[in-house]
Amino acid sequence: MKAHGTVHKYGDNVNTDVIIPARYLNTASHGELAAHCMEDIDKNFVKSVKPGDIIVAGKNFGCGSSREHAPIAIRASGVSCVIASSFARIFYRNSINIGLPILECGAAAEEIGNGDEVDVDFDTGMIKNATTGKTYRAQPYPPFLQNIIRKGGLLKSISLD
Amino acid sequence: MGMTMTQKILAAHAGLPEVRAGQLIEAKLDLVLGNDITSPVAIDEFEKCGAHSVFDRGRIALVMDHFTPNKDIKSAEQCLQVRSFAGKYGIRNFFDVGRMGIEHALLPEQGLVGPGDCVIGADSHTCTYGALGAFSTGVGSTDMAAGMITGKAWFKVPSAIRVVLTGKPGRWIGGKDVILHLIGRIGVDGALYRSLEFTGEGLKHLGMADRLTIANMAIEAGASNGIFPVDAVTEDYEKGRLGRAPVVYEADADAAYDETVEIDLSSLRPVVAFPHLPSNTKTIDEAGKVRIDQSVIGSCTNGRIEDLRVAASILKGRKVAAGVRCIVIPATQQIYLAAVREGLAEIFVEAGAVFSTPTCGPCLGGHMGVLAEGERAVSTTNRNFVGRMGHVKSEVYLAGPAVAAASAVTGYLTDPDKIGAKGSLEDEGTRNRP
Ligand code: SF4
């Protein structure tokens, strides 16, 4: 699995309240959630995001509430992957559970700039900044989580009998 | 090498003799929780994957607390979806308006969670039940759906930070001051992916309400969970609630901790977290003169009867300052009734405060006290992120019930020790607002 896109860059501690404000939580419609994604931190995000784009952020991305609406809104807005120096725990597991690829890589998170073009290979964890030519390697997923991702999310990985 | 308390509970629920930090395990769940916002997403997933039954009708709790009583048509439809699901699958612990309370106050009160349990909830503050000596943690809706089907969840075994509490807290110091002080010291990611394990002789001065407040905000330090040892305070609290024998786990004497943080409770001053992070703390003495428009006393953090008593002791015989809206929200129906019976409701209304039915309401900017542009609230809730309580340019200052009540009276962030008999600031005279 690979991704290529333009980077939208944010700082540390981007919380789920700004990823999708609570005032929109009276719906679970993916389209409606996407229409308000990042609204309280970046009014231009929804206007400028293109399919495949990549979010790059600092530490503790997705902190705050457990709302799965946050990774859903990001995925539904077309974003192909999130790279951050670290993720909040619940956001991390939610993203894996719904199949939004996320990568932890401090150096990439620091050096990649807003608007850069980036290539990501999820199988190897390689991140390449096509704008600067620099490459980075993210932490690979442990096998247990690879299994969930390979099967297309948590619910597809459990057997119903 | 021994295990922490959290690791012992996880090992037992995974059916393993021992677990190590970093290990990925699958654990059996004692309870799976969802609310009116997160359950609809879980129910959609549940139905999409073709499940036709839940693992245990008695081990799922669905609580309609966030946007209830339904604030608009969409909220009503979300509750309707959960209500139908609860009916269809015979979910025993479905809490609707009139029986409900804010989930994290309600579940301990109703004896649905207890010491030694392993609990997930599709709500980040599910970590609250660590106060009872349970492992409980917030997850997302997909985890909730999988938990409802299989009765299991995957976890990465956390390492731990040990928090040693000593000394006796002063008169107005409560659980909120302890946890805000801690988050101020270690930061909002200071305990990322780890447990906060509380211990020390200072514990005996912290009642269950204080402990629930502290464990509630473990997530605000990024922790997977916060946990307290089971002691006389726990046993007292569980008497008459938990319909089964508590299972007690203790950390091994040689358990490994990433670090130890010591807090001398006797040295704490009331703490306020300034916008827009819970770690942005100052003591009330350093707060300066910050004018407020609204004071909210409630939530799963500080909406228990003990909190309302503290607030009422300050509001009794005093008036909420002109130009300030004071909103008091008991966290459950039982607390609401107790507040009425004890005369607290009367004190609040006479002081000029609103006394509301249980709801999350303003805590997440839902309803019942949303802020306009430029407005400021002091609030006993747990998050002060940008836009959390309303407009993106509004501000939330987190504090305990004593500071929130004292500030409602003066209209400024106020030390509860500094208000005079009629509510004037002893050292500054009566506040006048244009
Ligand atoms: S009171 Fe606030 S923090 Fe607690 S469950 Fe409700 S919205 Fe969440």
- Domains of chain B: which residue ranges? 5-264, 272-430
Residues of A in contact with B193 (CB under 8 A): 89
Top residue of A16, A74, A90, A104 to mutate, by most chain B CBs within 10 Å, is A90
- B147: contact with A, CB 8 A cutoff: no
- The C-alpha atoms of residue A141 and residue B378 are separated, in whole angstroms, by 42
Q: Is the dihedral angle over the CA atoms B314, B316, B319, B320 positive or is it negative?
A: positive
With beta carbons less than 8 A apart as the criterion, state whether A157 and B154 touch.
no
Selected residue of B37, B73, B300 to mutate for chain A interface (largest A Cβ count, 10 A)? B37
Q: Could you give the C-alpha distances from B293 to B16, B273, B321, B322, in angstroms and in order?
A: 53, 17, 10, 10
Spatial contact of B372 and B394, defined as CB atoms under 8 Å apart: yes
Taking the Cβ of residue A89 and every Cβ of chain B, the question of whether any pair is shorter than 8 Å is answered with yes
- Vertex B161 angle, CA B159 and B164, to 5°: 145
Residue A149's CB is within 10 A of a number of other CB atoms, namely 18
Q: Among B74, B142, B385, select the one facing A97 at the smallest CB separation.
A: B142
Whole-angstrom Cα distance, residue B20 to residue B159?
A: 8
Which CATH number does the domain B272-430 belong to among 3.30.499.10, 3.30.479.30, 3.40.50.1970, 3.30.470.20? 3.30.499.10
Q: CA dihedral in degrees (A82, A87, A90, A93; nearest 10)?
A: 50
Residues of A in contact with B48 (CB under 8 A): 155
Query: Taking CB atoms and an 8 Å cutoff, what residues of chain A touch B224?
Result: 89
pTM to 2 decimals? 0.93
**How high is the pLDDT of residue A145?**
81
Interface touch B387/A18, C-beta < 8 Å: yes
Sign of CA dihedral A67, B19, B164, B209: positive
| d(CA B397, ligand 1 centre) in Å | 16
Q: Is the pLDDT of residue A8 over 90?
A: yes
Quote the pLDDT of residue A158.
79
Q: How many residues does chain B have?
A: 434
Q: Nearest by CB to A89, which of B142, B188, B193?
A: B193
Give the model confidence (pLDDT) of A134-150 as tens digits: 999 997 777 778 788 77
Q: Which residue of B has its CA nearest to A43?
A: B392
Strands across the sheet with B225-227, in order?
B225-227, B195-199, B160-166, B259-264
pLDDT tens for the 434 residues of chain B, in order: 899 999 999 999 999 999 999 898 999 999 999 999 999 999 999 999 899 999 999 999 999 999 999 999 999 999 999 999 999 999 999 999 999 999 999 999 999 999 999 999 999 999 999 999 999 999 999 999 999 999 999 999 999 999 999 999 999 999 999 999 999 999 999 999 999 999 999 999 999 999 999 999 999 999 999 999 999 999 999 999 999 999 999 999 999 999 999 999 999 999 999 999 999 999 999 999 999 999 999 999 999 999 999 999 999 999 999 999 999 999 999 999 999 999 999 999 999 999 999 999 999 999 999 999 999 999 999 999 999 999 999 999 999 999 999 999 999 999 999 987 666 555 443 333 33
* Ligand 1 pocket mutation pick from B37, B65, B304 by most atoms within 8 angstroms of CB: B65
Please report, for residues A59, A94, B76, B137, B336, the alpha-carbon distance to residue B196 in angstroms, rounded to integers and kept in the order given.
Answer: 20, 22, 37, 12, 31
Pocket test for ligand 1, best of B37, B38, B39, B66 (most atoms within 8 A of CB): B66
pLDDT at residue A141 in the model? 77
The per-residue pLDDT for A118 is 97
Per-residue CA distances from B352 to A137, B115, B213, B287, B398 (Å): 60, 40, 26, 25, 22
In the predicted model, what is the mean pLDDT of residues A38-58? Answer: 96
Please tell me the predicted confidence (pLDDT) of residue B431.
Answer: 38
First to last CA, chain B: 64
Q: What is the mean pLDDT of residues A109-137?
A: 95
* Ligand 1, residues at Cβ distance < 6 Å: B 65-66, 102-104, 123, 125, 299-300, 360, 363-364, 381-382
**A133 to chain B, closest Cα gap in Å:** 31
Structure tokens at B209: 């309400």
B178 closest CA partner among B149, B143, B153, B213: B213
* Binding-face residues of B in 278-337 toward A, CB within 8 A: none
On the question of a common fold for B5-264 and B272-430, the answer reads yes
Alpha carbon of A60: minimum distance to chain B alpha carbons (Å): 6
Tokens (6 digits) for B170: 């002063």
Find the mean pLDDT for residues A153-157: 86
By C-alpha distance, the chain B residue nearest A61 is B189
In 10 A of CB B244, how many CB atoms?
8
Supply B416's token pair. Answer: 């509860």
What's the CA-to-centroid distance between B363 and ligand 1, angstroms? 6
Closest CA to B376 of B404, B337, B354, B352: B404
- Chain A residues touching B141 at Cβ < 8 A: 68, 94
Tell me the CATH number for domain B5-264: 3.30.499.10
- Out of B41, B51, B188, name the one closest to residue A160 (CB): B51
Q: Is A97 on the interface with B (CB under 8 A)?
A: yes
Q: Which two tokens stand for residue B202?
A: 């200072």
> Among residues A117, A134, A136, A113, which one has the least CA distance to residue A125?
A136
pLDDT tens digits for range B44-66: 999 998 999 999 999 999 999 99
Model confidence at A3: pLDDT above 70: yes
Residue B232's pLDDT is 97
Q: Output the residue whose Cα is nearest ligand 1's atom 6.
A: B360
pLDDT value of residue B424: 57
By the 8 A CB rule, do A134 and B126 touch?
no
CB contact under 8 A, A17 and B122: no
**What pLDDT sits at residue B131?**
98
pLDDT bin (cut points 50, 70, 90) of residue A99 is confident
Q: Report the residue among B36, B382, B384 best suited for mutation to probe ligand 1: largest number of ligand atoms under 8 A from its CB.
A: B382
Task: Write the residue with the smallest CA distance to atom 4 of ligand 1.
Answer: B300
Q: How far is the CA of B121 from the centre of ligand 1 (A)?
A: 12
Task: Write the single-letter amino acid at A43.
Answer: K
Can you tell me the distance from the alpha carbon of A86 to that of A12, in angstroms, rounded to the nearest whole number?
9
Distance (Å, rounded) from C-alpha B138 to C-alpha B417?
36
Closest residue in B to A87 (Cα) is B192
CB-based contact (8 Å) between B48 and chain A? Answer: yes
